[in-house]
């Protein structure tokens, strides 16, 4: 669940991105998994979904290949794009601002912090 004000918008990085709607000081918690709002799925859960729903999960979920778990944000956090030089980091289950982030700036993360392989289109 997002802990800051942010909006989805057109990204110069990739399709849709997530943009800060407020000043975010370094060290601020931006996102944290919230059971009952966000969704955690296993491989078995994923297999029970329709092909269309599986495609949505594969596109928008944070996945941990080693544990075979998928975490799907129920808010616009799912539009956070990858960067090799991100302005956020994933620490102890939370997305944290790595530095001060200005309003209007796109929020980015390094997908490899989740153990993910980068998609071919990045």
Q: How far apart are the first and last CA of the chain?
A: 25
Is the torsion defined by CA of 88, 6, 62, 74 positive or negative? positive
Q: Please, what CATH class does the domain formed by 6-108 belong to?
A: mainly beta
Confidence of residue 58 (pLDDT cuts 50, 70, 90): confident
Confidence of residue 41 (pLDDT cuts 50, 70, 90): very high
CA separation for the pair 14, 49 (Å, rounded): 26
Structure tokens at 10: 């057109």
88-112 per-position pLDDT tens digit:
998 888 899 999 999 999 999 998 8
């Amino acid at each position: 669940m997002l802990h800051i004000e942010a909006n989805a918008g057109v990204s110069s990085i990739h399709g849709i991105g997530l943009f800060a709607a407020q000043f975010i000081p370094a060290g601020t918690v931006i996102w944290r998994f919230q059971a009952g709002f966000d969704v955690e799925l296993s491989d078995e859960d994923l297999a029970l979904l329709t092909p269309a729903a599986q495609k949505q999960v594969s596109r928008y979920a944070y996945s941990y290949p080693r544990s075979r778990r998928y975490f799907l944000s129920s808010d616009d956090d799912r539009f956070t794009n990858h960067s090799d030089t991100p302005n956020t980091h994933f620490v102890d289950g939370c997305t944290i601002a790595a530095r001060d982030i200005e309003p209007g700036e796109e929020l980015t993360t390094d997908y490899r912090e989740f153990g993910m392989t980068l998609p071919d289109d990045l």
